[in-house]
Amino acid sequence: MKTIVNLIMVCVLSTMVFAQEKPVKIVFDVTSSNTSVHESAMRHVKMMAKAYPDSKFEMVMYSGAYGMVVKGESTVSDEMEALAENENVDFVVCQASLNRHKIDASQLVAGVRAVPDGILEIIQKQGQGWGYIKEGQ
């Protein structure tokens, strides 16, 4: 009987150990100027950051998505500012896109930082083992 109880305990403990979620790293690619895409992308990051607090998430915005990070223009600025306070969430925008649209750092939503090139940022993250999600319709 003692052997059966020990075997059951080993099975239960093994199941608990293997059931633990391994932290992931995901980069979200946003290029659309469509505010519905912005809202959907924010929903995805918010949901995942809450469900997987030990994982890391980065949203990279470039091309037509530059409006997503401009104060007074963004439809998701409040959610972005709140999520940017999480240590496991990072919001970055392509500096080349900002330059093309003559936007400087003082115009960005709080918590957003610029990187030299959005595409290069994504490629580097993938090279470090990050998963990739393309946000769009």
pLDDT along the chain (137 residues), means of 10: 45 41 92 96 96 96 96 96 96 97 96 97 97 91
Largest Cα separation within the chain, whole Å, is 76
The answer to whether residue 85 is domain-embedded is yes
Residue 13 lies in a domain: no
| Boundaries of domain holding 76 | 23-135
Residue 18 covered by a domain: no
Sign for the pseudo-dihedral over CA of 112, 117, 119, 124: negative
Output the pTM of the full model. 0.83
Q: What pLDDT, on a 0 to 100 scale, did the predictor assign at position 51?
A: 93
**Alpha carbon separation from 106 to 38, 69, 70, 130 (Å, rounded):** 21, 11, 9, 30
Q: Does the residue 12 lie in any domain?
A: no
Tally of CB atoms within 10 A around 65:
24
Does any domain span residue 4? no
Give me the CATH number covering residue 51: 3.40.1260.10
Q: What is the pLDDT of residue 136?
A: 85
Domain count along the chain: 1
Q: CA-to-CA distance for 76 and 31, rounded, in angstroms?
A: 15
